[in-house]
Amino acid sequence: GESVGLHLPTLSVQEGDNSIINCAYSNSASDYFIWYKQESGKGPQFIIDIRSNMDKRQGQRVTVLLNKTVKHLSLQIAATQPGDSAVYFCAENSVVNTGKLIFGQGTTLQVKP
């Protein structure tokens, strides 16, 4: 979702439901995108990535969708678990093949038992 000001948007889901977290990226030239999970007080943890020549990639319980036409990225988490509660960030490799990432604003995922 979109964020306003300094507040991270929050997605609240019931345990067992599917979650969809959205992200709008900024640079149409970005060729590589990553989703990270960040738990409180920790560094970002890699979840899944996708290159710009793909529009979908699946991992274990997670799927990333890329729509380059509207510069939109989404992360789908199947059968959401309490351990999935965290802040999720999308990141784009804004300068090709450098590792220099620009992070999106993040979404807090709250999983209700």
Binding residues vs another protein (CB under 8 A)? 6-8, 34, 36, 41-46, 89, 97-106
Minimum CB distance to another protein smaller for 19 or for 107: 107
Look up residue 78 and give its two tokens: 């199947």
Minimum CB distance to another protein smaller for 42 or for 70: 42
Burial, 24: exposed, middle or buried (Cβ in 10 Å; 0-12, 13-18, 19+)? middle
Q: Measured from the CB of residue 16, what is the shortest distance to another protein in angstroms?
A: 28
Residues in the chain: 113
Partners of residue 108 on adjacent β-strands: 10, 87
Q: Measured from the CB of residue 5, what is the shortest distance to another protein in angstroms?
A: 10
Minimum CB distance to another protein smaller for 69 or for 98: 98
Q: Measured from the CB of residue 1, what is the shortest distance to another protein in angstroms?
A: 14
- CA-nearest of 44, 95, 47 to 74 is 47
